Amino acid sequence: MSFELVILFLAGFFGGVLNSIAGGGSFITFPALIFVGIPPITANATNTFASCAGYMSGTYAFRKEIAQHKDQLVRIVTISLIGGILGAWLLLQTPETVFEEAIPWLLLFATVLFIFGGQINAGLKRLASRHRHASSIGGILLSLLLLGVATYGGFFNAGLGIISLSYLALAGYTNINAMNGLKLLVSSSVSLIAIILFIYNDVIAWYEGTIVLCGTLAGGYVAAHVSRKLPQQQVRNFVIVASIATTLYFFFDVYAG
């Protein structure tokens, strides 16, 4: 038990550091929860619980930037809550074996988004700049896209921030601080409503999740003090290597193990 405690705390710590500097902390925390013997769906729900505090603290830190878009907040939060509960419900309806087989593909999707997210967002920004005066149909499509983003986040937390940034770029947002704040607002809303459903269905491993949560908070605190000293591109490269290795491991474990 003490060995598992150390593994989970360290996973949370380094996940918190990565989330604060480059993103991608779930590539460490989610596999760690499975490694200590937690079933995949419970591990996914627990990872959402452990990540939520970081989303909320980040949202508070960007509160001024978020307030600049107050006319959009009700729509963003409402759609995020609807999508979050829909995604969590879909997760709970998914058989454990089916979800286990889907894990490598979900991780692959999140990995590709992490690696190419910058290029995707740049392309979407160019597209958005050409269509600033979107029609009402465009607004409806953007709302449906946000619903899809939130549903994905309720179903599988890894990669949610990157997908949210892609949505915000397509929606025409250009200020990176505001985009980060709104991204965290979406992540917080999705996670909170999903956690409520997970609690109701008793699928959160509270002990293990709390250990990861404590590690995440500690890692985020340390990262806030040392982030300027760390070369972010090297940290990002580490996340890319870790995400590819994790994805390959799960493909091998599920399909060749």
Instruction: Write out pLDDT tens, residues 8-63.
Output: 999 999 888 887 776 778 889 999 999 999 999 999 999 999 988 888 888 888 89
* Nearest-angstrom CA–CA distance, 213 and 46: 10
pLDDT given at position 67: 92
DSSP code, position 23: S
Q: Is the pLDDT assigned to residue 132 strictly greater than 80?
A: no
Number of neighbouring beta carbons within 10 Å of residue 235: 19
3-state secondary structure 39-95: CHHHHHHHHHHHHHHHHHHHHHHCHHHHHCCHHHHHHHHHHHHHHHHHHHHHHHHCC
Asked whether the beta carbons of 225 and 76 are under 8 A apart, the reply is no
pLDDT given at position 93: 96
* Nearest-angstrom CA–CA distance, 57 and 245: 30
* Nearest-angstrom CA–CA distance, 26 and 12: 9
- Report CA-CA distances (Å) from 53 to 59, 133, 220, 247: 10, 37, 10, 26
* Nearest-angstrom CA–CA distance, 129 and 145: 18
Question: Token pair 């996973």 is at which residue?
Answer: 11
Q: How confident is the model at residue 140 (pLDDT cuts 50, 70, 90)?
A: confident
Q: Is the pLDDT assigned to residue 82 strictly greater than 70?
A: yes
pLDDT given at position 160: 85
Q: What is the pTM assigned to this prediction?
A: 0.84
